[in-house]
Structure 1
Amino acid sequence: MTNIYDFLKFQPELYKQLVCKDILFAYYDCPQTGLREEVFSHYGYITFVVRGERRVHRSGKSWLLQPNSCLFFKKGALLQDIYRSDNFRSFNLYLPDSYLQQLIKEYRKFYNGRLVGNQPGEQVIELAVNETTHSFIQTILGYFEQQPAPTEAELEQRARELLFSLLINKANQVLAAYLNSLVDRRQTSLYEVMEANYMFNLSLEQYARIANRSLATFKREFTRVFQTTPAKWLMQKRLTYAQTLLQTTSMLVNDVAFESGFENNSHFSRVFKEKFGTSPANYRKQLVLSYS
């Protein structure tokens, strides 16, 4: 699966970008070629849509990205579709957890209201953009054409201004709650990473990167937390999720396999039959007969 952060950062000759420490500012035409693709990022990021439209999906829910819409994506995976046209351009700001933790600590110092309590919430947070925020975004967009390029100090200041303008907006309290929850964690919750992303066909190395752990540490801690191996846990979760989709939706079997994180339909059908004693197609037929 494509790590969109790496994809952009290591191709500066193709996609406009500015880098400040681990913070990545990217302004680009979406490189997606297929009708639907799975992507992930090991950093959370803000997307502001400049033109065109995209639809993104996670766990049966969808969000439409259209001009002037702004969203925060927690680190992890999602499915994106080309929607109506392929003329899509966005400004993305990728931010490591360590930076977000420091930012919210500083925000607490001058914020007079009470921060919303910690909320797990959705992986995708829709954001309200007022004139102040829009002005900061336009300033940053101008940096991509500026010569000489802005300094790291300037870039970091603009990132802080943009984020503070979003946090001050009372319509964005869900974002404030999420960032507030990061401060109280010593490290990323392995349980939350896996529960939020098991339905995507990520490698163990990619799960470990989202969780900000080495692969060896990830495997060791996974066994301690879940009392089983990653492979066995993922198989059980994906099969259970596929079973639910077969029971509650009219999705084609191929789509169920894809949505559940299986590499291909033949593999899905084989392991499903081993678990439930029948193929996915026959399982659904039996459900229909039982209700008729």
Structure 2
Amino acid sequence: MTNIYDFLKFQPNVYRQFVCKDLLIAYYDCTQASKQEEFFSHFSYITFVVNGERCVHRRGKSWLLRPNACLFFKKGALMQDMYFSDNFRSLNLYLPDSYLQQQFKEYLKSRKTRNLINQPSEQVFELAVNQTTEGFIQALLALFEQQPAPTDDIIEQRARELLFSFLLDQDNKPLTTYLNSLINRRQTSLYEVMEANYMFNLSLEQFSRIANRSLATFKREFTRLFHTTPARWLMQKRLTYAKTLLETTELPVNDVAYESGFENTSHFSRVFKERFGLSPLFYRKQHHTVLIPEPQPALAIY
């Protein structure tokens, strides 16, 4: 699966960008094709859409990226639809946890905030963009046209101003509570990474990178936490998720396999029958309980 951070960072001649240590600010401008793809990032990121439309999906939920929409993506994987419409252009800020922790601590020093309650938030959530925030976004976009190129200090200052403007907006509580949940963590929660991403066909190396661990450390901590191997745990979670999709949706079996993280339908059908005693198709015939209409193209962020 493509790591979108690496994809952008290692093509500086294709995608305009600024790199300050691990902080990456990239202007994405790409002709679209009619296809779906999965990608992941080991850093959280903010995307502001300049032009075009794309739709991203996770666990049956969809978000439409349309002009002037701004979304926060926690690190992890997504599925994306690409449209035939105008070229998709976006401003993207890839933000390591260490950077987010540092900036949020600075934000708290400057604000008289009450005790924040850490509430669960979606893997993807929309950010409110007010007039002030719009000004900071335009200031960042202007840096790509500046000659000579801006210094690292200026780039970091513009990124910090934009992040603080989001935090100051009361409509962005999901961002505030999420960053508050990060500040006292010494490392990424392995449990949260796995629960949020098991249905994507990520390799163990990619899971370990999202979790900010070496592969050896990832395997060792995983076994201690889940009392089984990553391969066995992933197979069980994916089969259970596929079973739920067969029971509650009308997705074709091919799509159920894909949505559950299996590389191909034949492998999925074989291991499903081994686990539940029936092929996916016959299991659905016996256990299907809820009919859900075929999903329609997203018209808004929802």
Q: CA deviation at 1:143?
A: 0.9
* Alignment correspondent of 2:108: 108
Indicate how the Cα distance of structure 1 residues 211 and 245 shifts in structure 2: closer, same or farther if over 3 A, else same. Answer: same
Q: Give the Cα separation in 1 of the matches to 2:19 and 2:187.
A: 24
Identity of aligned residues (%): 73
Tell me the SS of whatever aligns to 2:80. Answer: strand
Deviates more, 1:85-94 or 1:261-270: 85-94
* Alignment correspondent of 1:140: 140
Q: Give the Cα separation in 2 of the matches to 1:119 and 1:83.
A: 34
Q: Does 1:66 align with 2:66?
A: yes
Q: Give the Cα separation in 2 of the matches to 1:112 and 1:31.
A: 46
Tell me the SS of whatever aligns to 1:117. Answer: coil
Q: CA deviation at 1:281?
A: 0.8
Tell me the SS of whatever aligns to 1:103. Answer: helix
* Alignment correspondent of 2:40: 40
Q: Give the Cα separation in 2 of the matches to 1:288 and 1:2.
A: 34
* Alignment correspondent of 1:183: 183
Gaps of 5+ in 2: 292-302
Q: Does 1:79 align with 2:79?
A: yes
* Alignment correspondent of 1:279: 279
Give the conservation status (yes or no) of the 8 Å contact 1:116–1:174.
Answer: no
One-letter amino acid of the structure 1 residue matched with residue 110 of structure 2: F
Give the conservation status (yes or no) of the 8 Å contact 1:115–1:176.
Answer: no
Tell me the SS of whatever aligns to 1:48. Answer: strand
Tell me the SS of whatever aligns to 2:39. Answer: strand
Q: Give the Cα separation in 1 of the matches to 2:59 and 2:41.
A: 17
Q: Does 1:205 align with 2:216?
A: no
Q: CA deviation at 1:35?
A: 1.3
CA RMSD of aligned residues (A): 1.5
Q: Give the Cα separation in 1 of the matches to 2:279 and 2:31.
A: 37
* Alignment correspondent of 2:12: 12
Tell me the SS of whatever aligns to 1:92. Answer: strand
The total of aligned residue pairs comes to 290
Q: Give the Cα separation in 2 of the matches to 1:160 and 1:74.
A: 18
TM-score, with normalisation over the residues of structure 2? Answer: 0.93
Give the conservation status (yes or no) of the 8 Å contact 2:97–2:182.
Answer: yes
**1:230-256 deviation digits (Å, cap 9, x = unpaired):** 000000000000000000001010000
Tell me the SS of whatever aligns to 1:192. Answer: helix
Q: Does 1:124 align with 2:142?
A: no
Q: Does 1:218 align with 2:213?
A: no
* Alignment correspondent of 1:51: 51
Q: Give the Cα separation in 1 of the matches to 2:69 and 2:202.
A: 28
Q: CA deviation at 1:121?
A: 1.3
Tell me the SS of whatever aligns to 2:206. Answer: helix
Tell me the SS of whatever aligns to 2:25. Answer: strand
Q: CA deviation at 1:30?
A: 3.7
Q: Give the Cα separation in 2 of the matches to 1:85 and 1:268.
A: 34
Q: CA deviation at 1:120?
A: 2.6
Give the conservation status (yes or no) of the 8 Å contact 2:31–2:87.
Answer: no
One-letter amino acid of the structure 2 residue matched with residue 85 of structure 1: S
**1:85-125 deviation digits (Å, cap 9, x = unpaired):** 25211100001000000011011111123253112311002
Give the conservation status (yes or no) of the 8 Å contact 2:33–2:84.
Answer: no
Q: CA deviation at 1:169?
A: 0.2
**1:29-64 deviation digits (Å, cap 9, x = unpaired):** 246645110000000000000011111001111111
Give the conservation status (yes or no) of the 8 Å contact 1:26–1:93.
Answer: yes
Indicate how the Cα distance of structure 1 residues 177 and 115 shifts in structure 2: closer, same or farther if over 3 A, else same. Answer: farther
TM-score, with normalisation over the residues of structure 1? Answer: 0.96
Give the conservation status (yes or no) of the 8 Å contact 1:57–1:63.
Answer: yes
**1:122-158 deviation digits (Å, cap 9, x = unpaired):** 1002100011111111111111121111100001000
Q: Does 1:169 align with 2:169?
A: yes
**1:7-29 deviation digits (Å, cap 9, x = unpaired):** 00000011111111110011022
Tell me the SS of whatever aligns to 2:46. Answer: strand
Any residues of structure 2 matched to 1:212-291 within 5 Å, and which? 212-288=212-288
One-letter amino acid of the structure 2 residue matched with residue 95 of structure 1: L
Tell me the SS of whatever aligns to 2:117. Answer: coil
